[in-house]
Amino acid sequence: MAGTTDRGLLAPTDWKRPGVRWSTRLLHGALLAGLAVAGLGPMLWLAKAAVTPTQDTLRHPMSLWPNGIDLANLTEAWTRVEIDKYFFNTIALAAGSWAVQLLVAATGGYALAVLRPRLGRYLSGAVLATLFVPSVVLLVPLYLTILDPPVVGTSMLNTFWAVWLPAGANAFNVLLMQRFFANLPREIFEAARVDGAGPYRLFWSIVLPMSRPVIGVVSVFAVIASWKDFLWPMLVLPDPALQPLSVRLPALQQFVELDVFLAALAISSLIPIALFLVFQRLFLSSAGLGGAVKG
């Protein structure tokens, strides 16, 4: 794998040619400007609009505070819109989905890769097969399953479980974990077993601590997916008091004044953006993984 210090398409000799050097610099400058406008521009505009009175946003959308700043938007978004409530729901949904996904993927991957049950191959195949089934197929039957789940008996509509549990059925996570565990050196397991470690201690004290990277990747995928989800929580959480921001925001738009609504949008973007800035490397390496290794 070439690191950043290594060369790429352009050879060191290419870099010495002024024509190449300058045109590359020019292109890089243009690219940076383009990325800044496209990537950062809309978010900066949102940040500005969040503290701008409605009429200014409507009449002079590209002016900087022609009539002053209105910080009250933010507090009103918090109180009148009760954005804190929906924020909490969003976080609760993300946390629960994360926990279920991690539990299912870690235990399942461990069982398949390390404990290796007799029918493991077929189980892996059955999990893998679900990767080929696009989520659209599940929409209606899964909704009906939530309405009338086997065993439980009572409808899971309007409970967080309706979002948490289906999120756990993520084949990609299981296979990723399975593959990771399978690549761990088996001698360590054997040594632990000789020391008298049972399957539980092996899992908890040896395998999990060695799996931080893959746990990180699965966590990022789980949290991002949950934060982005819209259609499913909209279907299974019709009670507004339980809805996450993504479902609630479109409905709020109809009742809330534009400036307060934009403040609510800005607040909703804050946590994911902050998370991204803090865990940038993890995010970007997971994203790269998404295309290169997935499957």
Partner 1 sequence: MQTSRTAAAVAAAALTVAGLAACSDDGPDDGKTHITVTIDAGLEQPAIDAFNARVEQFEDANPDIDVETQEYTWTAGTFTAQLAGGTLPDVFVIPFTDGRGLIERGQIADISAYTAELPYRDAFNPNIAAAGEDADGNLWAVPIAAYGQGLHYNRTLFTAAGLDPDAPPTTWAEIQTAAKAISEATGEAGYSVMTNGNTGGWILTTVVDALGGRTEDAGTATIDTPQMREALAQLQSMRWDDDSMGDTLQYDWAGINQDFAAGRIGMYVSGGGNYGNLFTQNGLNPDDYGLTVLPLGDSPDAGVLGGGTLAAVSPGAEAAEQEAAVAWIDFYYMEKLTDQDAAVADAQVKAETGQPVGAPELPVFDQATYDEQQSWIAEYVNVPVEQMAPYTSQVFAQPLVNEPVTATQEVYAVLDTVVQSILTDENADVDALLETAQADAQAAMDAAA
Partner 2 sequence: MTSTDTRTAGVADTQAGPPRAARPGRPRARLARARSGLHTLVFLAPMLVVFGVFSWLPIGRAVVMSFQRTNLVTDPVFVGFANFQQVFADPQLWTAIQNTGYFALLALVFGYPVPLVAAILMSEVRKARGLFSALAYLPVVVPPVVAVLLWKLFYDAGEDGVFNTVLSWFGIGPVAWLQDAQIVMPSLVLEATWAAAGGTVIIYLAALVGVDPSLYEAAEIDGAGVWRKLWHITLPQLRGVLLITFILQIIGTAQVFLEPFLFTDGGPANRTLTLLLLIYRYAFTNSLGGDYGAAAALSLMLAVVLAGFSMLYFRLTRKWSS
Single residue of 66, 68, 122, 126 touching partner 2 by CB under 8 A: 126
Residue 159 found at the interface with partner 1 (CB under 8 A): no
Of residues 76 and 265, the one with the C-beta less far from partner 2: 265
Cα 168 to chain centroid, rounded:
14
Rounded (10°) angle between helices 161-168 and 83-110: 30
Per partner kind, with CB cut-offs from 5 to 8 A, the member of partner 2, partner 1, none near residue 2 is partner 2
Dihedral-angle region of residue 53 (phi above 0 means left; psi in -120 to 50 means alpha; beta otherwise):
beta
Q: How far is the CB of 174 from partner 2 (least distance, A)?
A: 6
Distance CA 249, CA 263 (A): 11
Closest CA to 242 of 89, 84, 92: 89
Q: Which residue's entry shows tokens 């020391």? A: 195
Say which entry of partner 1, partner 2, none residue 33 contacts (CB below 5 to 8 A, set by partner kind): none
- Could you tell me if 105 and 177 are in contact, meaning their C-beta atoms sit under 8 angstroms apart? yes
Alpha-carbon dihedral sign for residues 173, 178, 183, 186: positive
Asked whether position 193 contacts partner 1 by CB under 8 A, the answer is: no
**Binding-site member from 24, 145, 158, 286 for partner 1 (CB under 8 A):** 158
Q: Which residues neighbour 201 within 8 Å (Cβ) at sequence distance 6 or greater? A: 192
> Which of residues 87, 110, 172, 181 is near partner 2 by CB under 8 A?
110
Is residue 278 at the binding interface for partner 2, with CB under 8 A as the rule? no
Site for partner 1 in 246-285 (CB under 8 A): 251-252, 254-258
Residue 205 binds to partner 2 (criterion: CB under 8 A):
no
Task: Pick one of partner 1, partner 2, none as the site partner of residue 293 (Cβ within 5 to 8 A by kind).
Answer: partner 2
Looking only at residues 140 through 159 of this chain, which bind partner 2 when binding is defined by CB under 8 A?
140-145, 147, 149-150
**For residues 70 and 51, is the Cβ–Cβ distance under 8 A?**
yes
User: What is the rounded CA–CA span in Å between residue 61 and residue 55?
Assistant: 9
Site for partner 2 in 220-259 (CB under 8 A): 224, 227-228, 230-231, 235, 245-247, 249-250, 253, 258
Distance (Å, whole) CA 262 – CA 49: 6
Closer to partner 2 by Cβ: residue 76 or 127:
127
When binding is defined by CB under 8 A, the residue of 22, 32, 205, 278 that contacts partner 2 is: 32
Q: Which residues bind partner 1 (CB under 8 A)?
A: 54, 80, 143, 147, 155, 157-158, 235, 238-241, 251-252, 254-258
